[in-house]
């Protein structure tokens, strides 16, 4: 059976607030169906012309940008996906090109929701084959709108794929203990630490024993936070650095050394967090694994060519391609796994220093290199670290941790 339907429409949207106008042409076609594969593919093209008011009577619309979005919507065996590509052409926008580029950046975040994520490579309704029985029990096919496992067989944790109670009961029985490390250096302590700790007490591994290890240059200013039973806090004094980049990179050596001297004797698992974040929902034992990476909220629906890997061949963090783009705001695992991660990143940073170079995104670039060479055993979806700047997404059903408001102009000077 073959179906061929085409619809053509044009839409003109004036915007008084931004002084911009959008003229779009939408050409939509459904191609053909194959009942034997339960396959339907739809393809459409969207052309957006963004113009700015020039202020000259009779020429209020000046075409500046052409954004072409080509998509295929595919349904195969009850699974659905978008496969999209974009192409942008900048035209003469004179002095207002900066505004147009800013507008386009915001628009691209909206269109990313149409971009295809990869799909779990297992057959429909097949379970993971894992030594971890909890991961093998995950309901991967309850979320056909997102990728729920990797090509190397690691789960990607999304709301709806797991039973929180199963994970909590397992780790309570195993008497699992978790270390949380966070660096609060300089003004970051005053601005962020108290809310970070208070929210962690509400939502982070609440069924398990947790110790917060706070690395700071001003221990006397660490706020007093009421802790639940089986929760503890330890403050470790470290030196401040002249540059925030050095603070970010040197934490890898500090964590590795502290695992060796202390954490390995007290905890099975460790999670490392940036301080400028706030817990707003369950961040529970389902996140525990041998090595755990986090999908970056800004890139989880981007094409690999758009990932901001370090492209400098001289850097130890150099990458041509990869699986995902991981966010260094959160990583974790067993103490052995995290020790391997932090030692690898520190060694890469020191190799770069010898060449007087610095990776594009500092320790995050080296973290991505590690996870490319040594695949994580578990991947967290962007639910576990979301940015409200991105706005609403249908596939983000819950928020577990949110980026706090950034004050880079003040805190990084």
Structural tokens at position 34: 């194959």
What DSSP letter does each residue of 97-162 carry, written as one string? HHHHHHHHHHHHHHHGGGSPPP---SPTTPPP--SSHHHHT--GGG-TTS--B-TTS-BEE-TTSS
Segments forming the whole domain that contains residue 34:
24-90
Beta strands at 210-216 and 291-294: parallel, antiparallel or unpaired: unpaired
Structural tokens at position 352: 């770069």
CA distances (Å), 120 to each of 10, 113, 158, 239, 301, in order? 37, 18, 13, 44, 15
Active-site residue, from 286, 343, 358, 364? 364
Are the C-beta atoms of 348 and 316 separated by less than 8 Å?
A: yes
The CA distance from 394 to 350, in Å, is 42
Residue 185 in marked binding region: yes
Kindly state whether residues 84 and 153 are assigned to the same domain. no
Alpha-carbon Rg for the chain in angstroms: 24
Residue 132 pLDDT: 83
Kindly state whether residues 39 and 139 are assigned to the same domain. no
Residue 257 in marked binding region: no
Are the C-beta atoms of 151 and 128 separated by less than 8 Å?
A: no
Structural tokens at position 241: 């650095």
Q: Give a yes or no: residue 231 inside a domain.
A: yes
The number of CA neighbours under 13 Å toward the Cβ of 149 is 26
The number of CA neighbours under 13 Å toward the Cβ of 274 is 21
Phi, psi of 306 (to 5 degrees): -95, -5
Longest dimension (CA), the chain: 76
Task: Kindly report, residue by residue over 69-100, the tens digit of the pLDDT.
Answer: 454 444 444 444 444 554 444 444 444 455 55
The CA distance from 134 to 142, in Å, is 16
For the CA atoms of 343, 349, 354, 355, what is the dihedral angle to 10 degrees? 140
Closest CA to 184 of 211, 222, 220: 222
Question: Along the 413 residues of the chain, how does pLDDT read in single tens digits?
Answer: 333 333 333 333 333 333 333 333 333 343 334 333 333 343 444 444 444 333 333 333 334 444 444 544 444 444 444 445 544 444 444 444 555 555 555 555 555 555 667 889 999 889 998 878 899 999 999 999 999 999 999 999 999 999 999 999 999 999 999 999 999 998 889 999 999 999 999 999 999 999 999 999 999 999 999 999 999 999 999 987 765 566 656 889 999 999 999 999 999 999 999 999 999 999 999 999 999 999 999 999 998 999 999 999 999 999 999 999 999 999 999 999 999 999 999 999 999 999 999 999 989 999 999 999 999 999 999 999 999 999 889 999 999 999 998 776 666 55
Closest CA to 174 of 129, 135, 212, 208: 208
Phi, psi of 76 (to 5 degrees): -135, 120
Residue 406 pLDDT: 78
Closest CA to 225 of 258, 192, 267: 192
Chain position carrying tokens 């577990």 = 400
Kindly state whether residues 53 and 151 are assigned to the same domain. no
Q: Give a yes or no: residue 198 inside a domain.
A: yes
Are the C-beta atoms of 385 and 327 separated by less than 8 Å?
A: yes
Q: Give a yes or no: residue 11 inside a domain.
A: no
Kindly state whether residues 236 and 382 are assigned to the same domain. yes
Q: Give a yes or no: residue 165 inside a domain.
A: yes
Residue 26 in marked binding region: no
Kindly state whether residues 28 and 173 are assigned to the same domain. no
Residue 364 in marked binding region: yes
Residue 275 in marked binding region: yes
Q: Give a yes or no: residue 255 inside a domain.
A: yes
Q: Is 31 a catalytic residue?
A: no
Kindly state whether residues 137 and 77 are assigned to the same domain. no
Q: Give a yes or no: residue 340 inside a domain.
A: yes
Q: Give a yes or no: residue 95 inside a domain.
A: no
* Structural domain count, the chain: 2
Q: Where are the alpha helices (DSSP H) in 284-412?
A: 335-354, 363-373, 408-411
CA distances (Å), 100 to each of 18, 29, 85, 91, 268, in order? 10, 30, 20, 10, 50
Kindly state whether residues 82 and 186 are assigned to the same domain. no
Task: Kindly report, residue by residue over 247-259, the tens digit of the pLDDT.
Answer: 656 889 999 999 9
Kindly state whether residues 236 and 337 are assigned to the same domain. yes
Residue 276 in marked binding region: yes
Are the C-beta atoms of 117 and 79 separated by less than 8 Å?
A: no
Kindly state whether residues 65 and 170 are assigned to the same domain. no
Domain with residue 178: its CATH number is 3.90.550.10
Kindly state whether residues 78 and 137 are assigned to the same domain. no
If DSSP codes are grouped into helix, strand and coil, which group holds residue 185? coil
Kindly state whether residues 215 and 83 are assigned to the same domain. no
Q: Give a yes or no: residue 125 inside a domain.
A: no
Kindly state whether residues 220 and 329 are assigned to the same domain. yes
């Amino acid at each position: 059976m073959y179906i061929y339907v085409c619809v053509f429409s044009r839409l003109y949207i004036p915007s008084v607030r931004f002084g911009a106008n959008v003229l779009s042409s939408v050409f939509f076609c459904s191609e053909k169906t194959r009942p034997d594969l339960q396959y339907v593919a739809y393809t459409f093209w969207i052309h957006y012309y963004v113009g700015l008011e020039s202020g000259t009577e009779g020429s209020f619309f000046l075409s500046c940008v052409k954004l072409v979005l080509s998509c295929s919507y595919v349904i195969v065996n009850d699974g659905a996906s978008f496969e999209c590509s974009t192409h942008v052409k900048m035209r003469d926008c004179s002095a207002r090109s900066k505004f147009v580029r800013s507008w386009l950046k915001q628009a691209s975040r909206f269109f990313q929701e149409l971009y295809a994520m990869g799909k779990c490579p297992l057959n429909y309704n097949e379970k993971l084959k894992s030594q971890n029985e909890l991961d093998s029990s995950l309901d991967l096919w309850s979320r056909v709108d997102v990728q729920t496992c990797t090509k190397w067989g690691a789960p990607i944790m999304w709301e709806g794929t797991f039973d929180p109670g199963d994970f909590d009961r397992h780790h309570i029985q195993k008497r699992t203990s978790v270390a949380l490390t966070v660096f609060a250096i300089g003004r970051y302590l005053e601005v962020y630490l108290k809310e970070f700790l208070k929210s962690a007490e509400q939502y982070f591994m609440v069924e398990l024993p947790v110790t917060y290890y706070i690395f700071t240059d001003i221990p006397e200013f660490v706020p007093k936070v009421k802790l639940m039973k089986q929760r503890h806090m330890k403050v470790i004094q470290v030196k401040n650095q002249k540059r925030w980049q050095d603070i970010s990179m040197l934490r890898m050596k500090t964590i590795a050394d502290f695992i060796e001297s202390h954490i390995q004797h007290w905890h099975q698992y460790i999670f490392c967090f940036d301080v400028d974040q706030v817990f707003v929902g369950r961040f529970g034992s389902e996140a525990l694994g041998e090595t755990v990476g986090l999908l970056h909220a800004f890139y989880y629906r981007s094409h690999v060519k758009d990932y901001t890997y370090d492209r400098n061949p001289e850097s130890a963090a150099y990458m041509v391609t990869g699986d995902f783009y991981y966010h260094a705001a959160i990583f974790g695992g067993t103490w052995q796994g995290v020790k391997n991660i932090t030692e690898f990143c520190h060694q890469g940073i020191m190799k770069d220093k010898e060449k007087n170079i610095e990776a594009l995104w500092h320790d995050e670039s080296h973290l991505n290199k590690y996870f490319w060479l040594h695949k994580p055993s578990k991947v967290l979806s962007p639910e576990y670290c979301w940015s409200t700047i991105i706005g609403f997404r249908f596939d983000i059903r819950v928020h577990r941790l949110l980026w706090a408001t950034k004050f880079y102009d003040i805190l990084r000077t």
